[in-house]
Amino acid sequence: MIKNHSCIYCGTENDLSESDIIPDALTNARITNRNVCRIEHNNKFSDLFEGEVIESLALISNELDVKSSKGKNYAKYESTVRIAGVDYDVSMSSELELFSGRVLKSADKKHLMSSFEQVSKIEKDPSKVKAIDINNIVVEKKVKINLEIYFKVAIFRLAAKIAFEWYCAKNNVSGYHDDFSNIISFITTGAGNNPVSIIQSEELYRFIGNQANLGSHCLFAFQDSQSRISVVVYLFGIVMYRVIVSDNIPEFCTNNLLYQELCTDSSRKEIIKSSLEDVERTYIECITNKGNFSPIKLPNGITCMVPMQNQSIDILLYIFIGNAVSYFKGINAETTTPNETIIAILLKNITQIMDASLLHKKSIKRFVKEHFKDGHEPIRLNPNSSNKKETFMFYILMVIGKSNIKTINDCTLQQLAKETFSRYPKDEFIISNELEKKLKNELLNTPEYPSLLEQGAYVIKQWDNYPLV
């Protein structure tokens, strides 16, 4: 007999909907739970806590090129921009908006800045209008990093919701169950025992951070040392929440060792197993099966066995998950309030995102779309200003332009980047001040760089149309 579907929060069978486990505005890789009723336990959560978190994390989602599939634009965030010595407070989603003709009022309300046309309409006396050449001025952007949000009930409720709906989805849970009564009451009302805490072990952040891709969300479910179901929700590679989903293993749930990574380029990785022992057994079987390895002779005469490319499981991922979960079970460093340790961890992770450029189809297409509009002026780089991501992207476009390739795909893009930045093993590039200077000098010292950039941009524009409208 097929069991009827019903809401995991209240048990109703009426008007069920597909809930985005992680709000759509916070991920490019959607995961859903179908057993959630539409109004009370899906739509209402937006107003109760999701909206506040989405708004507060706008800067991060914007930096990572993550946006809602429903919305047209990337999220706006507040910043102060200093242009030719004057501060302007603006809410923006891209720096290019500053010069797109919108009127900016300075923080001291004494200056207006816009296109010459716009300003002339507002200020009739031409002697009061001063022209600035945006290609040669220094634009400084200051953004406030809001750390408060990471300690608010809103984000705890969101972490609990993600953990609960994800664990239920992977176990095909349907209907209300008492095993989850505490977490349900916390998600729906904010009351009850708070099942959420923030992990504050620097070492653990380093360990997971080395494995996961920059800006990914990672989820881990396991049976903890007190036999409870714990889910770790690692948001954007910034903060890890540990959520107690249930005080015992529900008898109707068989998948109690789960892992999922959701990447900003919308790819994902997943492991579904019954227990940690099950994971360990799987990779030990794989390691001890000689058929999974092929011998390679090293120059010094030693033969080394390396895993075959076409294995059915990603053995390194299994080993990583085995180690990560053992680590989670053993640590006891958690908090719910700010302190020096956790603040240092958060700032380090956020800075890393701000200083990194993610190079994949979506990010480079977005860059080209914003910077190479039809009929735009030739690109002239401003030697005085600093924008690490912009410099990096322009540099990659010049490399593409120089390479004379006519079409591009993920593979050729990564190949070109790797040849250029051969020191970097991953698809993400942390740009130091020094590296930025080097890249910019190289661009400026290439006389034909404006036309190379156009060629590079043209190749990217031809890349089959990603839904980026």
180 is a site residue for Zn ion (CB under 5 A): no
Nearer to Zn ion, 158 or 240 (CB): 158
What tokens does 304 get? 């080394």
Closest by Cα among 317, 347, 314, 348 to 220: 317
For the segment 65-124, give every residue that binds Zn ion (CB under 5 A): none
Number of residues that bind Zn ion (CB under 5 A): 6
| Among the residue ranges 7-15, 190-198, 242-250, 408-416, the one whose residues contact Zn ion (CB under 5 A) | 7-15
What tokens does 168 get? 């239920």
| Among the residue ranges 23-31, 33-41, 201-209, 329-337, the one whose residues contact Zn ion (CB under 5 A) | 33-41
N-to-C CA span, the chain? 44
**In degrees to the nearest 10, what's the CA dihedral of 371, 376, 381, 384?**
-90
| Among the residue ranges 1-9, 300-308, 387-395, 414-422, the one whose residues contact Zn ion (CB under 5 A) | 1-9
Nearer to Zn ion, 41 or 361 (CB): 41
- For the bound state, the minimum distance from the C-beta of residue 17 to Zn ion, rounded and expressed in Å, comes to 10
3-state secondary structure string across 270-294: EEEECCHHHHHHHHHHHHHCHHHEE
8 is a site residue for Zn ion (CB under 5 A): no
| Among the residue ranges 30-38, 49-57, 86-94, 400-408, the one whose residues contact Zn ion (CB under 5 A) | 30-38
Could you count the other beta carbons within 10 Å of the beta carbon of residue 77?
Answer: 21
Which residue in 22, 26, 37, 57 binds Zn ion (CB under 5 A)?
Answer: 37
| Among the residue ranges 9-17, 87-95, 385-393, 440-448, the one whose residues contact Zn ion (CB under 5 A) | 9-17
What tokens does 214 get? 């920059």
9 is a site residue for Zn ion (CB under 5 A): yes
- Quickly list DSSP for 402-456: HHT-S---HHHHHHHHHHHTTT--SSEEE--HHHHHHHHHHHHT-TTHHHHHHHH
The full length of the chain comes to: 469
Q: Are 394 and 379 in contact (CB under 8 A)?
A: yes
Nearer to Zn ion, 68 or 188 (CB): 188
- For the bound state, the minimum distance from the C-beta of residue 249 to Zn ion, rounded and expressed in Å, comes to 24
The CA distances from residue 168 to 96, 171, 252, 328, in Å, are 43, 5, 10, 21
Nearer to Zn ion, 40 or 314 (CB): 40
3-state secondary structure of 54: helix
| Among the residue ranges 2-10, 170-178, 268-276, 346-354, the one whose residues contact Zn ion (CB under 5 A) | 2-10
| Among the residue ranges 38-46, 66-74, 228-236, 420-428, the one whose residues contact Zn ion (CB under 5 A) | 38-46
- Quickly list DSSP for 356-380: EEE-SHHHHHHHHHHHS-TTPPPP-
- For the bound state, the minimum distance from the C-beta of residue 319 to Zn ion, rounded and expressed in Å, comes to 39
Nearer to Zn ion, 41 or 157 (CB): 41
Nearer to Zn ion, 10 or 153 (CB): 10
- For the bound state, the minimum distance from the C-beta of residue 435 to Zn ion, rounded and expressed in Å, comes to 51
- For the bound state, the minimum distance from the C-beta of residue 12 to Zn ion, rounded and expressed in Å, comes to 5
- Residues 12, 17, 18, 22, CA torsion sign: negative
- For the bound state, the minimum distance from the C-beta of residue 401 to Zn ion, rounded and expressed in Å, comes to 54
Nearer to Zn ion, 10 or 287 (CB): 10
Nearer to Zn ion, 42 or 114 (CB): 42
41 is a site residue for Zn ion (CB under 5 A): yes
3-state secondary structure of 48: helix
- For the bound state, the minimum distance from the C-beta of residue 16 to Zn ion, rounded and expressed in Å, comes to 8
161 is a site residue for Zn ion (CB under 5 A): no
- Residues 284, 253, 27, 16, CA torsion sign: positive
Spatial distance between the Cα atoms of 236 and 64, rounded to a whole number of angstroms: 9
Beta-bridge partners for 196: 243
What tokens does 55 get? 């708004």
Q: What angle (nearest 5°) sits at the alpha carbon of residue 198, between those of residues 192 and 199?
A: 135
| Among the residue ranges 35-43, 48-56, 336-344, 375-383, the one whose residues contact Zn ion (CB under 5 A) | 35-43
Nearer to Zn ion, 18 or 442 (CB): 18
Nearer to Zn ion, 177 or 268 (CB): 177
Phi, psi at 372, each rounded to 5°: -125, 60
- For the bound state, the minimum distance from the C-beta of residue 10 to Zn ion, rounded and expressed in Å, comes to 3
10 is a site residue for Zn ion (CB under 5 A): yes
Which residue in 7, 104, 212, 457 binds Zn ion (CB under 5 A)?
Answer: 7
Nearer to Zn ion, 10 or 84 (CB): 10
Site residues (vs Zn ion, CB under 5 A): 7, 9-10, 37, 40-41
